[in-house]
Amino acid sequence: MYQTIILGSILLITLYVLKRSRDPNLKLPPLVHYKIPIIGHTLSYMFNCEEFFKQCRKEYGDIFSLYLWGQVTTFVGKDHSYEVFARDDAFDFSEEFRRRVPGDAMFKNINGFGDPKYNAKVVREYISNKLGLYTERMQKSLYSATKKYIGDCDDDRTIYNFSYLMAKIISTPIANIFIGEEEAKYDEIITTFAEFTTDVAIFFAIPPILDFIFPGLQDYVNRIPIKLGLYNPATKHRDILVKHIKNQVDKRLREKQEYGDSWKRPNDLLQDFMEEQDFDPNNINYAAMADKLCIFIFASVHTTSRSCANAVMDLASRPEYMQELYEEQLEIHKKANENDILPFEALNEMKKLDSFIRESFRLTGDIAALPHLVLKDYTFSNGLQVQKDHVVDIYFNDVYQDESSQGPNPNLFEPFRHLNKNSSASKVSKNFIVFGGGKHACPGRFFAVNEIKFFMHNAILKYNFRTESGKIENKLRLGPITFPSTSGIIFERRFK
């Protein structure tokens, strides 16, 4: 028994030393000093991330490395973060994402999360280029969902964990535009859109403890129950989507043949998929179509609903800005038609609301995000180097807490900080990286911002809302990432 313990200890130490080996021929970023072998910086990273990163930045500079979950990760701050976004030949977010989420095991019908270039093309051509076409449907869906999930609030209503309802509200127009108006009326479709990302994100929630033994072991173990058919968080959602996709596809093919030239083409993502060159009406793979749709649900619903829930809580925490935003929305709403639908161009007039939303994005509170895989040895402009297959993460807070790029008091929420600066909520720059940067910046950001603005416009006109505590509510934190506060928000009907 003692021999087994000794041999096991030697093996762990050997693996630890091997994992720490670094290419001596490269000028690598400084590795922050740590005291606990194997564990490294993991505890500070998970439980004291903000202050820990500030100290690392102060002592080691703009680029530094941490020993986390059994391997070294490099963090890049404000001075060099845009190199990561601009040099797509050296850094790839999609590749690192695929290593963290077992999409190839969950979505075998389409080989994982699909081709990143194709996915970006779909968002640009089928969604972003048709924003004007979808404006009315987006508003109608948002208004009906708001009424359904928040209500009229004739009597004050306190809502806890607002982000859960926000996911349902945001999912309603997205389902309408993705799978069609008829299928978006079903509660199970809205539930699938709202809960899919959360269910799949269990793989992010599981701490990679096994990586302390050997890098990648946790990912290998995560795949076992999926490959054995014991558990796949995507299965129940795929089954629901297959049922509704089949219903629509069969109906459309039948009606197109029946009505010929008089057939009215549906405008939605599903129809766009049906008109692609590789779609065979005589051999339809409904599961593959469902898996393809899952990719875009994953990319759209959670990020948008999280951001919108944060914006609502940020305004509820600061009711002193409500009247100014209300007056702007009231003036803009004069351009609405008899059904309270605004023209697409009205979005550009929501100047104060747009600035508020951008500030909410800026202070989301994520310390570090958007990890990229290094595709080849790379030398930063300051001479520091990272080696191929290494992971580089972006130190968000270093960008957003920089006074020279953000303006005075960058740590304070100033909702009209971005007015008259040609800095819309969807515009990426070196000092605004919530959507990434470079040519791979999120192509769906225009759709997301429009949806948030339409929701906020309606909510501000319809309700007064404030935090139950009467105080500014802080976000929940898990390591470097934040989540919307679950504290109560009081909604009351606004009487005109």
Known binding-site positions for heme: 442
Q: What is the DSSP code (8-state) at residue 277?
A: T
**Whole-number Cα distances in Å, 191 to 175, 219, 236:** 10, 28, 11
For β-strands 391-395 and 368-374, DSSP reports them as antiparallel
Closest CA to 452 of 310, 331, 323: 310
CA-to-CA distance for 354 and 365, rounded, in angstroms? 19
Block residue for tokens 């080696």: 387
Is residue 306 within 8 Å of 197, Cβ to Cβ?
Answer: no
Can you say which residues are annotated as belonging to the binding site? 442
One-letter amino acid for residue 264 of the chain: K
Is residue 391 within 8 Å of 374, Cβ to Cβ?
Answer: yes
CA 292, 293, 298, 304 torsion-angle sign: positive
Host H or E run for residue 493: strand 489-493
CA 144, 149, 153, 154 torsion-angle sign: positive
Residues counted in the chain: 496
**Residue 69: phi, psi to the nearest 5?**
50, 40
**Whole-number Cα distances in Å, 281 to 53, 252, 275, 276, 278:** 55, 11, 10, 11, 10
CA-to-CA distance for 127 and 278, rounded, in angstroms? 20
Buried residues in 70-82 as b, exposed as e (16+ CB within 10 A): bbbbbbbbbbbbb
Is residue 375 within 8 Å of 388, Cβ to Cβ?
Answer: yes
